[in-house]
Chain A
Amino acid sequence: MAFDSFTDFVSMGGYGLYVWLSFFLSFVVLAGVALETLLAKRQLVKKSKQLQQRQQRLARRKASRAAVGDGNESKT
């Protein structure tokens, strides 16, 4: 241990503000990147669900039209 007490450790020989500020800001920036990446992943999960629902809706519509067979599919 390079320090005699916890207060010594916090004060960093008078440079406490600079040392702790630099460690704090570095943490914020790097954790920010990690957090943004995790949020982007969540967004992708949501988007994928929407995409799948749309694909299913389209498939259902196609199927019901084919079952009725009223020629609607050629009109549109």
Chain B
Amino acid sequence: MWRWLHPYAKPEATYNLLQKLLPWFVALTLVTLVTGVVWGLAFAPGDYQQGDSYRIIFLHVPAAIFSMGAYMGMAIMGAVALIWQIKTAEWSIPAIAPVGAALTIVALLTGAIWGKPMWGTWWVWDARLTSELILLFLYVGVMALYFAFDDARTGAKAAAILSLVGVINLPIIHFSVEWWNTLHQGATITKFERPSIATSMLIPLLICLTGFAFLTVSLVMMRLKNEILRQELHRPWAQQKLEQD
């Protein structure tokens, strides 16, 4: 049943697949992200409590969700790399980590800028904010470990182990707003009941979420392509690919 997956253990096959899919993902990213942002900024109604400052949500929530989503993906790749020793899985770790770190930075920055007018402060050591900051450090740690060894595969193994250990932080981030009820508000859409947000705001938010999903995947694909070429630079197929662009 999983036979079709086997050829993609070969880096060249994965590269060719990424090359074929990437333009579509980039196009989908641009369409959804522009639609979502324009809709959120100009067409969604203002909030009855927060006025127009709430429009930061259209960046903040998608960035925060995919900062965790990217981490989950990286940890799964880490598990695959440790269990089946697949090189492409190892190489996807340094492809995902910087993208996840960037999303975490966006979530933290937009949160701080949103916090200033609404909470009266840029930063508090609230559980949600602190655990999200730890997520950033985990990403930085994974990247540092990956490149810290002369032998690339040892580095990949170390980074994979750290990424798996760091998974413990994800439920902490998610449930932090329930376990420690401090300043950060509760979940708006990531819960099982009906979302606590008006449909006229929910639709652009969902479009922004889709846009960030495509953006995350596109950036990871771009970086994974680079990492595959970097690792296979001595092979003729990689040199030929690089000659073409």
- Seen from chain A, the residues whose Cβ lies within 8 Å of a Cβ on chain B are 1-3, 9, 12-15, 18-19, 21-23, 25-26, 29-30, 32-34, 36-38, 40-41, 44-45, 47-49, 51-52
Contacts and interface: CB of A to CB of B under 8 A. Distances in A.
Interface in B72-122: 98-99, 102-103, 105-106, 109-110, 113-114, 116-117
B222 A34 contact: yes
Contact of A22 (B44, B105, B113, B242): B113
Main secondary structure of the interface of B (DSSP, over half): helix
Contacts of B6: none
B162 to A, nearest CB: 21
B45 A2 contact: yes
Interface of B: 37, 41-46, 51-53, 55-56, 59-60, 63, 98-99, 102-103, 105-106, 109-110, 113-114, 116-117, 215, 219, 222-223, 225-226, 229-230, 233-234, 238-239, 242-243, 245
Tell me whether chain A's interface is mostly helix, strand or loop, or mixed: helix
B114 A18 contact: yes
A30 B99 CA distance: 8
Given A44-B233, A45-B245, A25 B226 contact: no
